[in-house]
Structure 1
Amino acid sequence: MALKREGVYLEEEYREEIRYYMHDMERYTMSSTASMDQQPEIRWHMRPCLVDFLVEIHFTFRLRPETLYLTLNIIDRYVSRRVVYVKHYQLVGCAALWIAAKFEDAKERVPTVQDLAQICRDTYDEAAFIQMEGHVLQTIQWALGHPTAEAWLRMICCGPYAEEPKVQHVARFLMEITLFYREFVKYAPSSIALGALTLARYLCGKGRRIFEETEECLEIVDLLDVRLSKHVNDLSETLVKKYSYAFYSKAATFVVQYYLQGGRFSRQPLAPLPMTPVRSTSPRTFSTPASVSTTASDLSDDMPATPSSPAFSSDLFSSSYMSDDKENLPSPTFEPAINKQHAESIPDHFLPHDFVTFGRPALHSLNVSSPRPTLVA
């Protein structure tokens, strides 16, 4: 009943069948990094530029979170099967976003073909978007039922263990980071969601759930942890701004500050299973595998316990959460990331629908050899 009040509906009777079907569909709708490596012009250093562009459009139109993940899945599957030239890369991205929005979102939120042409500064004719839409759909054989990482996260959070809003928002921030980089493309969305949630729980000081963790999940945690520890200041400014809103529990501020202060994920060894006490020589006494004094303060419901993350000022996260979990609603105020290098100064009245000024140059006009070209909003 609590989930239904939050707008989440999951019939427990069909839960396992739903999970089996989602696993089948995610295997069927996976892309191939090996095929994408063979593109004659597209290079992996161009991907963050395109994803950053799509995140802005997605946030501007306040589309559902699933739409963004489905967009990147459609792009990856298309690039896995067709040769794509740099001059068409942005066109493919916009067409994929258009398809995903039609599949996932309400009709009034779907951008029009005129909107797409305006966003690309009329680099492409309106007919080009329509033609590319049909070509993309034919290439992916009209298979749009991709179970996204967002769908898996919702499924996991609908389980017997309810997650706090802050943990979910940190997990969503981490999941969107995985969209930018090649090393995450090969992993299934279910593993991405579980890995992001595992790291989010750790960062928020929650106990680990060893019984849920898989080897792929821990690989994703390690990849995220290494990237954030070494390149936290290289994260997409667009993504950091998006998740610096109080509506998202300031997840970006929290994660960036955690890693700027030197925090790291630590794999602790599994706790030993309880052993049968062995009777010692003295009566009524038993020896245990480890003679560790246990006090009431040492006991915890989460076993095995993990080190809690460094304590931060509670003022950073004192903002209240909204009662419903509709991620596509705007936040009244914007708060930029703390200690984030080169962060832009955003006025307090800045709202999501102002996030993109439709004056961005087409991606193919950028210097292809540059690993992180600068986009001018």
Structure 2
Amino acid sequence: MSSTQSMDQQPEIRWHMRPCLVDFLVEIHFTFRLRPETLYLTLNIIDRYVSRRVVYIKHYQLVGCAALWIAAKFEDAKERVPTVQDLVSICHEAYEESAFIQMEGHVLTTIQWTLGHPTAEAWLRLMCCGTIAEDMKVQHVARFLMEITLFYREFVKFSPSTIALAALTLARYICGNLRRTWEETEECLEVIDLLDTRLAKNVNDLSETLVKKYSYAFYSKAATLVVQYYLEGGRFSKHSHLPFPVTPTRNSGSAFSTPMSTATSISDMSDDMPMTPTTPSSPPMYPSDPFSTCSSDDKENMPSAFEPVINKMRVESPPDQYLPHDFVAYSRPALHNLNISSPRVS
């Protein structure tokens, strides 16, 4: 069963809740300075879990935190992995420590302990480490565009390699760089069309957390560039062909510099690439889930308040410096507390 089909068959959680959960996870990921791969692996784990288990609203945030915890343990340095006490604090004590530990085991069992995943971030690194050096600003814009795709239903069905290629192609276009039309597949152009259309029509509805994150000079102010581009009416045109590209020279370093010299962030330079997994077959949903059983009088519905109200114009201008993680204060309310307790409508 695909992720889109499984979400449609869930009794309580709905697609309009996904952006709220992803926004929550992006902020945690940013605050703890976790590797880019960790965020993509987190959403991959969530999607696989949701495709095999019934998930109720009051456990949706718990699943998200457990997936992030698992992904961080797999991808990040030990000192950066949030503790179970951190998770309790982040969720404003909506769940006890034992709940995170139990959900971690439950998620791992459900996905059959298959953690290695060729993320969009891993594919982007490979695409940026060829013989032609990729401009750092283009890389940052591509990362911003890739993270946007994590929020929305229409991108779930596409492979990580397609997402990475589409984001990189659109990033080159927005930055005014030469296109490489020989690389652009039909699926790549389909993703670009979806992303370009969504940004053209709803650029002010983007996650405020994500826009703020990518507005720092550390990320070449990628969000500012993209938001301004679409607010001014910019659009991608697949029929727009620039002159045949010439091979550019590297921005810095010798001709023998390693591919990692074009990598993304300082914290990532010493990390290995993720492993390629084998995809397990999808077992049916299990009615005996410890997290799928609750009485009819304590199940929660999906209020409209579950979706965050976002206005891009409120984002403050960030300082021209590296990410000020030391000054990031995690203060958002727990998603669990946004739910209104009421009997589930049959």
Instruction: Mark yes or no: TM-score above 0.5.
Output: yes
What CA deviation, in whole Å up to 9, does each residue of 1:146-169 have, x standing for no partner? 110000001111122221100000
- Contact 2:142 2:170 survives alignment (8 Å): yes
1:200 pairs, out of 157, 168, 171, with 171
- Are the counterparts in 2 of residues 65 and 328 from structure 1 also a CA contact under 8 Å? no
Residue 174 of structure 1: aligned partner: 145
For normalisation by structure 1, the TM-score amounts to: 0.71
Identity over aligned pairs, percent: 76
Instruction: Say if 2:83 is the partner of 1:139.
Output: no
The 5 Å alignment of 1:48-63 reads 48-63=19-34
Quote the offset at 1:210 in angstroms: 1.3
What is the RMSD computed on CA atoms of the aligned residues? 2.5
Q: Given the alignment of the two structures, is residue 363 of structure 1 paired with residue 335 of structure 2, yes or no?
A: yes
2:12–2:56 CA contact under 8 A, matched in 1: yes
Please tell me the residue identity of whatever aligns with 2:245: D
Distance 1:344 1:157 in 2: 31
Residue type of the partner of 1:192?
Answer: I
Say if 2:259 is the partner of 1:301: no
Selected match of 1:78 from 33, 49, 58: 49
Greater relative contact order: 1 or 2 (C-alpha under 8 angstroms, separation 6 or more)?
2
The correspondence for 2:188, drawn from 212, 217, 228, is 217
Question: Which stretches in structure 1 are left out of the alignment for 5+ residues?
Answer: 1-29, 272-298, 304-321, 330-338, 370-377
Residue 261 (structure 1) shift: 0.6
What 5-or-longer segments of structure 2 have no aligned partner? Answer: 248-260, 269-310, 342-346
Partner of 2:212: 241
Cα distance per residue 1:51-104 (max 9 Å; x no partner): 000000000000000000000000011001100000000000000000000000
* Mapping for residues 1-377 of structure 1, pairs under 5 Å: 32-268=3-239, 300-301=244-245, 325-326=264-265, 328=267, 340-344=312-316, 351-357=324-330, 359-367=331-339
Distance of 2:169 and 2:3 partners within structure 1: 26
Shift in CA distance, 345/245, structure 1 to aligned 2, threshold 3 Å = closer
Structure 1 residues 249 and 348, CA, compared in 2 at 3 Å: closer, same or farther?
closer
Which string of whole-angstrom CA distances, capped at 9 and with x for unpartnered residues, describes residues 168-222 of structure 1? 0000000000000000001000000000001001111112111111111001100
User: Per-residue CA shift, 1:133-157, capped at 9, x if unaligned?
Assistant: 0000000011101110000001111
Kept in 2: contact 1:65–1:327 (CA 8 A): no
Q: CA distance change for structure 1 residues 346 and 165 in 2, over 3 Å: closer, same or farther?
A: closer
Query: Partner letter of residue 351 of structure 1?
Result: P
CA contact (8 A) 2:216 2:318 kept: no
Q: 1:328 to 1:235 in 2, by over 3 A?
A: farther
Deviation per residue, 1:19-54 (Å, 9 max, x gap): xxxxxxxxxxx9521112111100111111100000
Deviations 1:218-271 (A, max 9, x none): 011001100000000111010000000101000000000101111000111779
Contact 2:134 / 2:262 at 8 angstroms: preserved in 1?
no
- Select between 340-349 and 89-98 the one with higher mean Cα deviation: 340-349
Measure, in 1, the Cα distance between the counterparts of 2:263 and 2:118: 22
